[in-house]
Structure 1
Amino acid sequence: MADFPGTYPVADDVVRVPIFFVNAYLVGPPGGPWVLVDTGLPGAAGWIRRAAEAHHGDVPPQAIVLTHGHFDHAGNAAALADAWGVPIFAHDAELPFLTGRSDYPPQDPTPGGAIAFLSRFFPTAGYDFGARVQPLPADGSVGLDGWRWLHTPGHAPGHVALFREADRTLLAGDAVATMDLDSWVAQVTHAREVSRSPVPFVPDWEATAESVRQLAALRPRVLAAGHGREITDGAADRLAAFAERSHRPEHGRYVPEPARFDDDAGVVSVPPPVPDRTPALVAGGTLGAVLLSELLKRRRR
């Protein structure tokens, strides 16, 4: 099949499809059988379909597999499932957020950093995919030989990663990132770095840390994530070193205690919000800049 501009090979039969700051993955040999892992930001269904056609022709995927249901990973799931006539698979614990039973916990922008600031403009609403969505098979399979899913909660209660033992390729979803999402510079450069899960959307830091340790124990040769470019140079050692460090923020809504979830109902309870001073600081800085500009104009008269 032909290459498609803006897509990148990650490992044998794994292609990364970047959609702004998030990735979807075409997993499987050219022409199939294959699956789509995550679906990117809303509005990118056409782009993903063109990429899929370039790599797999007119063969639709076996299924869409969601690492979790946040808006930047499930944004085109319904449109693509309808276009291809295929099911959407997700972990049991993620289904309340994909069948209209629950929204996700409120984001927490207070730890600071680039992604935290931007999160103020991101939705936390769930989806209702109805009968399109089904639980992942309990045996760990994803419909492709050699691949299995692993429950890696923390960033979301039903978060999963995908792993292929044969060449130790790991699709980590948002359990980790391969760029520093807290850095404004990295938002442009996408420099490769094993980094923490998107901070404002992590409602359980202890579970996240345990999931990272679980993934590090796999010793992946290839590490690909929901955010950032794939890491192939020393991926196992870099992930192991990261797993040994604490990546919990110093402060934030979910730092002292996590949100609580139920597999059927979704969110049960969340900790109380903590003060968010950034909007006031931004407003004050903007007002100060306007007043200074007016003062300078008057002095020039």
Structure 2
Amino acid sequence: MEKDMQYGSDYKFIPATSIGSGVGIQVLPDIYTYTIQIVNFIAIGEPNSSDYVIVDAGMPGSAEEIIEVCSDRFGKDSRPKAILLTHGHFDHVGAIIELIEHWNVPVYAHELEIPFLTGQKSYPEPDPTVEGGMVAKMSPLFPNEPIQLGSHVEKLPADGTVPHLPDFRWIHTPGHAPGHVSFFREKDRALIVGDAFVTVKQESLYKVMTQEQEISGPPRYLTTDWQASKKSVETLAELKPVVAITGHGLPMTGQYLEESLSRLVRDFDNIAVPDYGRYIDKNIH
């Protein structure tokens, strides 16, 4: 591993999975989502094209699987133009260093995520006391130390454009992480959400394992700013997406997405915000 890149000392394989693990879904002709254990990474680009990017980088230890998925979809020895990060939590950057080494491609993230990706700052500790279920109780196992990508990570352009994806723009959607971003394409109203909201109750081990679909706020055990998170969901709902691909859970489309997102905005405090936990602002309820 290059000396200028390293994971935090707490990085390790996390033994959590779902029935969706290893399953890929072609959501649109050029958007493919693939589940690794409990999290999705997304490939954007026409099949067998050399012009594609990936969004997020899976769980720790998943590099070989990600490379194989991309080889199958885009051709042997193909490589993306870039890796885009919705944010830097461990389950979205788990294979990032191996992928950079294998493909030699740049990584882009919001400037507020850069400290967590360049060894400067740890994320707040996951909250096992938060209301929600067994995954929340397991969360002290989850890595939160910064990783070090050195010069391999760059800031997303300040004007909202997305490198190598001219039809997309990035939108700052903080709350779950300070520099969390989502990606939106106006022409078909495709939204790549990250963890701004998800389509599975991520705190519940049963629902994670079965991938039972329901709209939910961001994963509770790693969300530290619920006021910002609520505003981010409102911002995304105003886009009126036709399809939403989330970091956790199955893609959601059409009228079901519209109704679910409206309900999440209307009832965010009850659906998303836990009743208790160390990051709960008592003023939000």
> Is 1:71 paired with 2:90?
yes
SS of 2:70's equivalent in the other structure is helix
Pick aligned residue for 2:203 from 159, 179, 182: 182
Find the aligned partners of 1:81 and 1:237 in 2 and give their Cα distance.
39
**1:11 pairs with 2:36:** no
1:139 pairs with 147, 150, 159, which one? 159
| Paired position in structure 2 for 1:261 | none
Contact 1:224–1:231 under 8 Å retained in 2: yes
Equivalent residue pairs, number: 254
Residue 59 of structure 1 deviates from its aligned partner by: 2.8
Matches within 5 A, 1:98-113: 98-112=117-131, 113=133
Q: Bigger shift: 134-143 or 180-189?
A: 180-189
In structure 1, runs of 5+ residues without a counterpart are 259-301
Q: Deviation per CA, 1:8-60: give whole Å up to 9, x if none.
A: 11222111111000000001112131111001101110100111011111331
The question of whether the paired residues in 1 share the 8 Å contact of 2:62 and 2:95 is answered with yes
**CA deviation string 1:146-204 (max 9, x = no partner):** 11111000100000001111111111001011111132321221022111111010111
- Return the offset for 1:89: 0.4
Asked whether the equivalents of residues 78 and 132 of structure 1 are also in contact (C-alpha less than 8 Å), the reply is: no
| Alignment correspondent of 2:280 | 255
How far is the alpha carbon of 1:98 from its aligned partner? 0.3
Aligned pairs (5 A) from 1:225-244: 225-234=246-255, 235-244=257-266
Q: 1:117 aligns with which of 133, 137, 143?
A: 137
Question: Which residue of 23, 39, 45 corresponds with 2:63?
Answer: 45
Question: Per the alignment, in what secondary structure is the counterpart of residue 74 of structure 1?
Answer: coil
- Please tell me whether residue 165 in structure 1 is matched to residue 186 in structure 2: yes
Indicate if the aligned counterparts of 2:226 and 2:281 stay in contact, CA closer than 8 A.
no
Aligned to 1:281: none
Q: Does 1:29 align with 2:49?
A: no
Aligned to 1:148: 169
In the aligned structure 1, how far is the partner of 2:282 from the partner of 2:174? 15
Unaligned runs of 5+ in 2: 1-21
Q: Deviations over 1:277-297 (max 9, x none)?
A: xxxxxxxxxxxxxxxxxxxxx
The alpha carbon displacement at 1:241 in A equals 1.4
Compute the displacement of 1:137 (Å): 1.2
- Which letter maps to 1:160? V
* AA at the equivalent of 2:273: R
Q: Hey, what's the Cα distance between the residues in 1 that align with 2:282 and 2:113? A: 20
SS of equivalent to 2:43: strand
Aligned structure 1 segments of 4 or more residues deviating by more than 2 angstroms: 182-185
CA–CA separation in structure 1 for the residues paired with 2:103 and 2:130: 40
Check whether the contact 1:66–1:89 (CA below 8 A) recurs between aligned residues: yes
1:74-94 CA-to-partner distances (Å, cap 9, x unmatched) read 111111112111101000000
Distance 2:193 2:214 in 1: 14
**1:83 is matched with which residue?**
102
- Give the distance between the partners of 1:243 and 1:33, measured in 2 at CA: 36
Q: Is the 8 A contact 1:155 1:174 kept in 2?
A: yes
TM-superposed deviation, 1:233: 4.0
The alpha-carbon deviation at position 69 of structure 1 amounts to 0.4
| Aligned partner (choices 55, 66, 72) of residue 54 of structure 1 | 72
User: Is the contact made by 1:91 and 1:158 (CA closer than 8 Å) also made in structure 2?
Assistant: yes
Rounded Cα–Cα distance in structure 1 between residues aligned with 2:38 and 2:222:
15
Query: How large is the RMSD of aligned CA atoms in angstroms?
Result: 1.5
179-188 vs 37-46, greater mean Cα deviation:
179-188
- Cα distance between partner residues in 2 of 1:233 and 1:187: 23
Aligned-residue identity in percent: 42
TM-score of the two chains, using structure 1 as the length reference: 0.81
CA distance in 2, matches of 1:257, 1:102: 27
